[in-house]
Amino acid sequence: MFEKCCRRRCIRYPSKIEGIKERARGKKFQEHYDQAQLFFNSLAPHEKKHLIDAFSFELDHCDDPVVYETYTKLLNCVDFELAKKVASNVGGIIPDEPGRKNHGKSSQSLSQLYYAPKHPLITGRRVAILVADDFNLDDVDAVCGAMATANAKAFIIGPHRGGIHSQGSRGSIMADHHFEGQRSTLFDALFIPSGDHIRHLAKNGRAIQYVREAFGHCKPIGAAGFGIAFLRDIAGLPGVQFQHEDSSDVMSSYGVVTTGKLGIRYAVTKKVRIEHDEKDFLAEFAYMISQHRCYEREMDGLTAQVAF
């Protein structure tokens, strides 16, 4: 034995170090993929697509092939399909087989869908109503009233702020914002009423962009009467089925809810129902808003067909 002195005390060290345990990280600490696999396995299909798009976006900014080629190899240890799609997007090495076996485990709580409200509600949702001179006042009143009963907020968006005249000189309504002042990205849903104002909206590129942008972001869209023609013929929304302008029935397709006749049929005297109903436009539109986004639109490739 030997002694080493310090200021306060003496520390004795053994002359033999055989048998002393080495302080080191265990093998489990070196496992980097189990949790990543669990997270990816737990995502909904649209969430997986968003993750793939995010990886592809970031790696696209890397100019050194070593970075994106190496990273796609790491992704292959998490999920084979994930690695193939990202590698294809960024020019990485597309793998022929998985880099590591996927354990197949998942957890519902790792997906955002797990935290969706158990009962549909639209409290606090912001709905933009696009209008120009000669819009149908009854349609606007019906939607504004319905949103108010469910504690959602409707905003009038027009070509300018201030008074917008309704069809038939029935009065005017004050626009909260103009098309350049509030973009569609600041709202949760979009509604276009009927009326001759469609001919004005058709000449306004920003109004057309409003609809296409909302469609591209999978947001619910509603329209009545001539507003249907605007969605179908002017905005050119692909893959969507629209109700005929003369029909009072409701059509719901990829989060786009349309009816030929709305207006005076609806007198909102009680809280609007939020549920699927092919006969009730307001109930169906409110339900689509409660779902936040229509990701089927994205998964079926419709959003990729629209420039926004």
- Residue-wise pLDDT for 98-115, tens only, equals 999 999 999 999 999 999
Q: What is the average pLDDT across 74-84?
A: 95
Flag whether pLDDT at 21 surpasses 90: no
Domains of the chain: 32-111 (1.20.1370.20), 126-305 (3.40.50.880)
Helices 45-59 & 80-90 angle (0-180, nearest 10): 40
Flag whether pLDDT at 143 surpasses 50: yes
- Among 19-23, 30-34, 51-55, 118-122, the range scoring the smallest mean pLDDT is 19-23
| Confidence (pLDDT) at 184 | 94
Task: Convert the pLDDT of each residue in 165-186 to its tens digit.
Answer: 999 878 899 999 999 999 999 9
Find tokens 């069809």 and name the residue. Answer: 167
> Could you give the C-alpha distances from 205 to 105, 184, 236, in angstroms and in order?
48, 13, 13
Rounded distance between C-alpha atoms, residue 234 and residue 2, angstroms:
92
Chain Cα centroid distance, residue 122: 15
Mean pLDDT of the chain: 89
Task: Convert the pLDDT of each residue in 234-280 to its tens digit.
Answer: 999 999 999 999 898 999 999 999 999 886 566 666 788 999 988 89
Phi, psi at residue 174, to the nearest 5°? -85, 125
Which is higher by pLDDT, 270 or 127?
A: 127
> Is 131 in contact with 164 (CB distance < 8 Å)?
yes
> Could you give the C-alpha distances from 172 to 165, 169, 176, 194, in angstroms and in order?
4, 8, 13, 15
Q: How many CB atoms are located within 10 Å of the residue 157 CB?
A: 26
| Confidence (pLDDT) at 158 | 96
Rounded to two decimals, the pTM is 0.85
Written as six digits, the tokens of 134 are: 């000669």
Q: pLDDT tier at 4 (50, 70, 90 boundaries)? A: very low
| Confidence (pLDDT) at 32 | 82
CA-based nearest residue to 179, from 208, 138, 136: 208
Phi, psi at residue 172, to the nearest 5°? -130, 170
Which is higher by pLDDT, 52 or 19?
A: 52
